[in-house]
Amino acid sequence: MSWYNTSARQLPWRDPGTDPWAILVCEVMSQQTPIARVLPAWEEWMARWPDPTALAEASPAHVIIAWGTLGYPRRALRLQECAGVVVEKWDGTLPRSREDLLSLPGIGPYTADAIIAFAYRERTTVLDVNVRRVLARIYGEAAPPTSLKAWEVERASHLVPDDGEAASQWNAAIMELGALICTARNPRCEQCPIAPHCAWLELGKPEAATPRKVQAFEGTHRQARGKVMRVLRTAHAPIGVEELRERSGLPEVRFEPALTTLLADGLAAATPGGIQLPIE
């Protein structure tokens, strides 16, 4: 925590008094997306839709356009769905209990715990990939399991301070340590404030028993969807299916499944004039 107080990145959502909704937006945007890409998008988003009411009233097309290239654009629509529920059920104020947070669209266990810790400064255990990696190494493991295990949560919960404010700081500190120092590749162990306690370092930094595979992006269904969405975000009118395929640069065998799933997910809409972003 002392290291965090002097070395943490200065990020606007960490400013004292930041609204819980703004923190939720940051958490949703940050899922599988680097902070460097999140920061400008978050600032623009919050300037445009500073609270759940503003976002709930926005056009889905504008929401998708504002999401830009953050990836997984379905997150944008889920965030708007969440805003609508918060307005309707909680009068525009993000709930603070874990049960209520988990009932909201698009909020899973990690996000709920992050809101409790970072927005409401209450004790909980926040376990993202960075925290799990730091704790794994402290206990002599090169990497955490591929999926979160109950024993990981139990182990981490014993380390979190009892006081809510201290717990919030601890969760933020260990998460930042994993993001900046105890990285997946080339960790900077010589700069780590808890290196003397690291069993993995003491063991000589052994490799993981099962190396993790990095999923290729080129040629994937996700890439194809992104190409179609890029065309739709810049279009000013509905586009015919064949023109959309040509402008996406995709062969038919990749274009058709991409368009089908985008329509099913509500990220695109079919109209008499062609394909466009959803209006309502």
The residues carrying an active-site annotation are 27
| d(C-alpha 124, C-alpha 57), whole Å | 32
User: Are the beta carbons of 201 and 245 closer than 8 angstroms?
Assistant: no
Mapping DSSP to helix (H, G, I), strand (E, B) and coil, where does residue 171 land? helix
Return the closest-CA partner of residue 208 out of 143, 146, 152: 143
| d(C-alpha 22, C-alpha 39), whole Å | 12
According to DSSP, the β-strands at 269-271 and 274-276 are antiparallel
Return the closest-CA partner of residue 32 out of 254, 214, 256, 253: 214
For residues 160-185, one letter each, b for 16 or more C-beta atoms within 10 angstroms of the residue's C-beta and e for the rest, the string is beeeeeebbbbbbbbbbbbbbbbeee
271 backbone dihedrals φ, ψ, rounded to 5°: -125, 170
Mapping DSSP to helix (H, G, I), strand (E, B) and coil, where does residue 152 land? helix
Mapping DSSP to helix (H, G, I), strand (E, B) and coil, where does residue 272 land? coil
